[in-house]
């Protein structure tokens, strides 16, 4: 299999020689590269592909994401999804998701506002991308990974299953991830 670097729009073959594959397009019998990447010519299969070196991040079901809660409604939290865990590129496409009240915790949740608040940073799992982005915080590894006190805006510390503000000595509840406070190294 031959490999070389190609640029978008570069002609890489003809439809008489090869079948166009991933990262290519055909126009008037000529095959062109869609993006910057490594050209892979498979002589045996008679195909050409262009493999992108660092492809854009498109959300898919099962992705673990980090986001910030932008709004809390009676039945859901609206989240700005900022990144996919383990990927170092920005997300392309839709990045505003929702966590329905039934997907916040494994047990009954009476009020979304008691489990998450605006500006909380969460870790969640993508459970749907079309027609809208839906997230789940069900599971011990999912939930709030960073939060601030509603009163003084100082960072909250984990105190057993609640969050505590050392500055104003308040206690707040959230659906916290099992690694709250230490999650920064994993993000």
- CA 124 – CA 140 distance, rounded (Å): 11
Shared domain for 16 and 34, answered yes or no, is yes
Shared domain for 92 and 131, answered yes or no, is yes
Q: Which long-range contacts (CB under 8 A, 24 or more apart) does 134-137 make?
A: 134/97, 134/98, 134/99, 134/100, 134/103, 135/65, 135/67, 135/79, 135/81, 135/97, 135/98, 135/99, 135/103, 136/99, 136/103, 137/99, 137/103, 137/104, 137/105, 137/175
Shared domain for 39 and 103, answered yes or no, is no
- Among candidate residues 118, 112, 119, the one with its CA nearest the CA of residue 175: 112
Asked whether residue 187 carries a pLDDT value surpassing 60, the answer given is no
Shared domain for 36 and 108, answered yes or no, is no
Asked whether residue 2 carries a pLDDT value surpassing 60, the answer given is yes
Q: What is the rounded average pLDDT of the residues 131-156?
A: 95
Question: What local confidence, expressed as pLDDT, does residue 171 receive?
Answer: 95
Q: What is the CATH number of the domain that holds 30?
A: 2.40.50.100
Question: What local confidence, expressed as pLDDT, does residue 26 receive?
Answer: 95
Shared domain for 151 and 77, answered yes or no, is yes
Asked whether residue 185 carries a pLDDT value surpassing 50, the answer given is no
Domain boundaries, position 11: 2-51
Shared domain for 73 and 44, answered yes or no, is no
Shared domain for 69 and 151, answered yes or no, is yes
Average pLDDT, the chain: 92
Q: Could you give the number of structural domains in the chain?
A: 2
Q: What whole-number percentage of the chain has pLDDT above 90? A: 81
Shared domain for 47 and 89, answered yes or no, is no
Q: What is the CATH number of the domain that holds 87?
A: 2.40.50.140
Chain segment 43-92, per-residue pLDDT in tens: 899 999 999 877 778 899 999 999 999 999 999 999 999 999 998 888 88
Shared domain for 43 and 95, answered yes or no, is no
Shared domain for 135 and 93, answered yes or no, is yes
Shared domain for 37 and 63, answered yes or no, is no
pTM for the model = 0.75
Quick check: 17 and 9 in contact, CB under 8 A? no
């Amino acid at each position: 299999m031959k490999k070389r670097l190609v640029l978008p729009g570069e002609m890489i073959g003809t439809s008489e020689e090869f079948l166009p594959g991933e990262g290519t397009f055909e126009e008037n019998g000529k095959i062109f590269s869609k993006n910057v990447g490594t050209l892979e010519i498979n002589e045996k299969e008679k195909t050409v592909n262009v493999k992108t070196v660092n492809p854009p991040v498109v959300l898919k079901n099962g992705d673990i994401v980090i986001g910030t809660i932008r709004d809390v409604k009676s039945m859901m939290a609206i989240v700005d999804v900022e990144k996919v865990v383990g990927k170092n590129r920005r997300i392309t496409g839709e990045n505003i998701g929702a966590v329905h009240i039934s997907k916040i915790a494994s047990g009954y949740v009476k009020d979304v506002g008691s489990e998450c608040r605006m500006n909380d940073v969460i870790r969640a799992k993508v459970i749907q991308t079309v027609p809208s982005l839906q997230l789940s915080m069900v599971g011990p590894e999912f939930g709030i990974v960073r939060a601030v006190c509603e009163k003084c805006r100082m960072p909250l510390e984990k105190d057993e299953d609640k969050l505590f503000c050392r500055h104003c000595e308040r206690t707040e509840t959230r659906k916290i991830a099992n690694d709250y406070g230490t999650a920064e190294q994993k993000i």
